[in-house]
Chains A and B, each alone.
Chain A
């Protein structure tokens, strides 16, 4: 009796080949080296019972998560002769990659269990439906600031935990500032997605006006977010009022820089995951001199870049906001 159907797996191989081609030789060499090193390490580590148990549980959990959230299920069931077998084959290969090394350990039976669980999971037809979380957000934040609504909703857990922790430690010296600093890094990721052109047009303004309005609106949001923390911190530590003020101004500048940087490279409907990395580097520059106890000579950097990118953003937006 045949337990496998390789149709779906063959499609995945074609997709994988395409991705590998896109990566280029350099990245492929790095990935291969990392994978080989990881393989040796993993085989050594798997001689530990708890690690083997952890691998079994996490592999099954990953497969279950994929199964209940995969979007191609209706396609597979509609077009494939043996849909369940095809899905199971895919999971069997995936399991082998994640936990196949268990076969070379004393706890090989965990791999057998993984395969058995995969067979059961591949029959689950239930699909998790994406529900609206934090539906009240648009009552607090104007939908014109859609980046914030979308971002807070997307990163709701980390964002809210981080903010609650920040509020809780706000009377303490320096710690809340560090938390806010991390929160700003989180906010960078709100600007990774480029809105479609009709949303950009919705204001019908000139590029300069558009940028200024956006910076003003988003700065107000940042101000509202930071105000309680900085206020409590300044009340408990009056000697830090000036420091807090400088910190706030720097963070405002970094936020403006984030917006200008987004529109400097804006292409409708594009995603810009790379811009977060650049902005994290800038953000590190704002705090690094304080940590290593040096002169904060890098502090004016965001301001300088702000001016520079404002003009580049204006130029780029002329392509989309001309009249």
Chain B
């Protein structure tokens, strides 16, 4: 069980997470959705211990979560200049014994012997994903992983995430596109106003759409009434 207890994070006067309390079952895929600025990335950063919450506690199996418990694929991926894809991958320890570089090389078709600067955004994303999967961790966090990926890699990524679940891993995933989350997640959590407003199981995803978009549709309709 992963427990978030009264997590608060502010950036200046902007309170992004406000006394957020929630529990997440392990070995499941958790989707996190929310409108722009809802705090998805901040929540993931806190779970991955990239940032320390102002207050509150994050527990993993009743102990304080450690950085070494998580592997995090960020929305934007940054690399070191003048190194090749294969050199980048070698920086990370190969703790996942099942990880096969050749298999992913074939699937993703990345020119690993070329400098990363020459890669397209999609290739960079795939490379960062390979570095994440190379490491064996109980928790994997994917922040907007489908951004910039081609259609077939999107499908491969869905399969990869399902495989991680089969291996007993806990996966957190966010996406601006709802469909892939609906296809793969066991639970989808709606983040709004700095808290998890509601959590949905597979069967009531139609409620999720209403929860996510109803307010937006009304306000956008009001704004756009005389604008287009």
Q: Which residues of A contact B (CB under 8 A)?
A: 129-132, 135, 137-138, 142-144, 146-147, 149-151, 153-154, 193, 195-199, 201-202, 204, 268-269, 322-323
Contact = CB atoms under 8 A, between A and B. Distances in A.
Contacts of A269: 78
Contacts of B67: 201, 204, 322-323
A297 B84 CA distance: 44
A202 B87 contact: no
21 contacts: A129-B118, A131-B115, A132-B84, A142-B90, A143-B83, A143-B88, A143-B91, A144-B91, A146-B88, A146-B91, A149-B83, A153-B82, A193-B81, A196-B77, A198-B72, A202-B91, A204-B67, A204-B68, A269-B78, A322-B49, A323-B66
Contact of B68 (A150, A154, A323): A323
Interface in B97-138: 113-115, 117-118, 128, 131
B113 A132 contact: yes
Contacts of A146: 80, 83, 87-88, 91
B112 to A, nearest CB: 10
Contacts of B113: 132, 135
A152 to B, nearest CB: 9
B81 A143 contact: no
A268 B131 CA distance: 18
Q: Which 4 A-B pairs have the closest CB atoms?
A: A143-B90, A150-B82, A196-B78, A143-B87
Q: What band does the interface of chain B fall in when counting residues whose beta carbon is under 8 Å from A?
A: 20 to 34
Contacts of B49: 322-323
Contact of B52 (A137, A199, A322): A322
B86 interface: yes
B79 interface: yes
A138 B90 contact: yes
A109 B49 CA distance: 65
Contacts of A147: 80
Interface string B132-156: 0000000000000000000000000
A145 B217 CA distance: 52
A154 B77 CA distance: 21
B142 to A, nearest CB: 13
Interface string B48-83: 011010000000000000111000101001111111
B213 interface: no
Contacts of A154: 81-82
Contacts of B79: 196
B206 interface: no
Interface centre among A135, A198, A268 (most CB of B within 10 A): A198
B115 A132 contact: yes
A151 B87 CA distance: 14
Contacts of A150: 80-83
B84 A193 contact: no
A198 B92 CA distance: 9
B93 interface: yes
A167 to B, nearest CB: 24
A193 B80 contact: yes
Contacts of A129: 118
B66 to A, nearest CB: 5
A149 B87 contact: yes
Given A130-B115, A138-B87, A202-B93, A195 B80 contact: yes
A130 B77 CA distance: 20
Contacts of A322: 49, 52, 67
A130 B117 contact: yes
A195 B79 CA distance: 7
Nearest to A269: B78
A134 to B, nearest CB: 10
Contacts of B91: 143-144, 146, 199, 202
A138 B72 contact: no
A198 B131 CA distance: 10
A60 B17 CA distance: 57
B19 to A, nearest CB: 23
A193 B113 CA distance: 22
A268 B51 CA distance: 13
B50 to A, nearest CB: 6
B86 to A, nearest CB: 7
Interface string B22-44: 00000000000000000000000
A318 to B, nearest CB: 11
The CB with the most chain A CB atoms within 10 A, among B77, B92, B118, is that of B92
Contacts of A196: 77-80
A130 B118 contact: yes
Contacts of B90: 138, 142-144
B136 to A, nearest CB: 12
Contacts of A197: 50
A117 B66 CA distance: 62
